[in-house]
Structure formats: structure tokens, C-alpha cells
Amino acid sequence: MIAIIGAGPVGCYAASLLADNFEVKVFEEHSSVGLPIQCTGIVTQEIFRFVPKKNNFVINKASDVRIFSPNNKYIKLKLKKPDLIIDRKKFDNYFYNQAKKKGVNFVFNHKFISTRGCDVLIKNLKSKKIKKFKFSHLIGADGPLSSVAKNTGLYNKRKFFIGLQAIIKRKNNNIIDFYPVKQGFAWAVPEDKNTLRIGVASKTNPKEYFNKLLKKYKGKIIVKQAGLIPVFNPWTTFSKENIFLVGDAAGFVKATTAGGLIPGLRSAEILAHSLNHNLSYEAGIYLHLFPNLWLNLKMRRVMDSFTEKDWNQLIRELNNKESKKVLQSVNRDKLFQLLLSIAANNPRMMKYGLRHVRSLF
């Protein structure tokens, strides 16, 4: 039996892909899938590699993006392919239903405690009893603080962005706002024309900037959310023997935008392909996932080295028809890569910290 810990989107997706060839059981500590929500739910159209275009979870699309500099100036871009804003509960349930259809067995209110040889010890949170289950493979899909990783020596040294988010009622023009922030970034993402998801993710305390955002986007707060986002670590170990980590549990998140959904789902696919065809998961990850995560990490390092003055200059320099035309030709994921590459090729921008950009290209 393959034991998967965590019924998030990545665990459910891995389960559905493995169910044709293995008996799969998913243990989830919550009583249902998709809650609590700790996510902005913005994805590029690359998500359609994993889900059908016709679905019930894409609730908005937005093409207009504003990138602000600290002096409150911005460049406004119209992306060729709009970003998608999803309902995370429905999104997670889509993957859950796919897995259910394939005959995967879900065990809710059951928390992974530890491994003992080829058994997992799982606590029934209602009866408080601990049961043993024999596994052939163990998959940790249990999020950033992965107990599977901790228990099996795969946790390594982890760093996190701390994410704070509020859903507010506020009329808006369906524009995505992006702000570079010390060691992170902030955002305002339109859920619909009367609702915004605003938040900050930073490796240092994001509270001060979060309060600033709340002041800027005055609106009735519907709900506040908080969560950790792992910073990708290329030196991390994410498997040993018959134990594998996927998604946030492995730290597979883009360091530029903290987007973890697409790389997480991709890691589930790579793992399923490896187990279904008896191939190496590590090799698959190094080949198909690491190059992009690595590039995002390098970009994050460059972005973190920028001073406020650098950002002000960068946004000022790029605010022209020609640069905007180039920037608009790609999706949001590639946007930062392109932004930095234009900066690297502009000698006037090589003053200040922007010279670090050269190291990327």
C-alpha cells in the first residue's frame, strides 16, 4: 500500500496518478479537503497542463498588472495571457474527486505521527487511538512543516516566507498589483469586482507592511489568513529509500512569486511517473523541476539585493512603450525574468545594486 500523508492538491493529485497501479491510502488530519485556506490562488495558464479548461474553480481572470516601486510609481502592463484566480476549496476538491473516482481510500481526521520500520503510526484524532499501517511507499504531501520530512530526516534547514493575507470588500478595476518588499513582495489580487485578496510574504516580519497595505486598500475585512511558504533550497534532500516528499513538503515553491501550486503538481506527476515506471524520482526532479526553481531562486536573490532606490530606478527606466511591449509578451512567471534581463542590458541601470542582475544572465 502507498501511504500519502496530506490531502492537499499535491497529495490528491499524486494519489490519482498512482491509483491505476497501486493501492493508495491518503491520511488527512482535517475532516475535509480544502480548508483552512491559506493561499491567494493566483496561477498562470500553465495550470491547464493539470486541469481541464472547463472547471468550476477559476473564478476570475485578470490581464492588467501594475508593478509598484517604493516611491509609489508603477508600470502598468497588459499580459497577453491573463492570470487566473481560483477558488482554492473547489480547486483542492477537484483533485480529491479525481482521486476518489480512481478508487483512492481517504482517511480523514487521521494525523501522521511517525514511521516505525515499514509501518506508519497514525493517530485517529477523534478516538485518540494510534494505529499502525504497513506501507510499501510513503509520500509526504503534508505541507511546509512536513512531519514526514521531520520524522525521516528529510527536513533539512528550512527557511520560510511568512505570508499574511486579508480578503477585503472593495470595488476594483480587476488589476493585479505587485509590490517589491524587503526580502519578499506584496500583492492585491482581484477575486471579483467587489473583492480583493491583499497580502505580504516576507522572510522578515511582514506585519508592518501588511498594516500599510490595509491602510492603502481601505475596505471591510472579511477574513485574515496567515501561512508559511518554504523558500526553495536546491541542496535539500527530498527522498530516501521508499520515502518521498512532494509539493510544499519538499519546498518546491517558486522563490520569486511564492507560487507553489504548479511546481507542486509537477512534482506529483514526476513522482507518479517514477513509481509507475520504476525510475528515479530524484533524477526526474533534477531534470524537470530544478532548473526553473533554481532560476527563480537566483532571481529572488537579485531582487533581495535591490535597494528601494534600485526599484525606483528600475520601474522608472522600464516605463516606456518599448520595454512594456516586450514585458507584456510573456506570462507573469516569465515577467520577472524578462524585467531583470532588460535591466541587465541597459547600461544606465548598472548603477546601484542593479549590477547584480548581470550574474543572472
Ligand X SMILES: Cc1cc2nc3c(=O)[nH]c(=O)nc-3n(C[C@H](O)[C@H](O)[C@H](O)COP(=O)(O)OP(=O)(O)OC[C@H]3O[C@@H](n4cnc5c(N)ncnc54)[C@H](O)[C@@H]3O)c2cc1C
Q: Interface with ligand X by CB under 6 A: which residues?
A: 5-11, 27-30, 38-43, 111-112, 141-143, 147, 163, 165, 199, 227, 229, 247-249, 253, 258-261, 264
Which of residues 111 and 182 has its CB atom nearest to ligand X in the complex? 111
CB of 73 to ligand X, least distance (A): 25
DSSP state of 104: P
CB of 321 to ligand X, least distance (A): 30
CB of 119 to ligand X, least distance (A): 15
Q: Cβ contacts of residue 332 below 8 Å, gap of 6+?
A: 42, 44, 65, 79, 83, 176, 257
Q: Cβ contacts of residue 236 below 8 Å, gap of 6+?
A: 154, 156, 250, 251
Which of residues 298 and 332 has its CB atom nearest to ligand X in the complex? 332
Which of residues 30 and 170 has its CB atom nearest to ligand X in the complex? 30
Which of residues 143 and 190 has its CB atom nearest to ligand X in the complex? 143
Which of residues 41 and 284 has its CB atom nearest to ligand X in the complex? 41
Determine the residue with CB nearest ligand X: 260
CB of 193 to ligand X, least distance (A): 19
Looking up cell 532606490 gives 309
CB of 71 to ligand X, least distance (A): 26
Are 142 and 178 a contacting pair, CB within 8 Å? no
Dihedral pair phi/psi, residue 74, rounded to 5°: -150, 160
Which of residues 41 and 184 has its CB atom nearest to ligand X in the complex? 41
Cell matching residue 213:
497595505
Cα distance between residue 347 and residue 22, in whole Å: 57
Are 187 and 216 a contacting pair, CB within 8 Å? no
Are 166 and 54 a contacting pair, CB within 8 Å? no
Q: Cβ contacts of residue 322 below 8 Å, gap of 6+?
A: none
CB of 7 to ligand X, least distance (A): 5
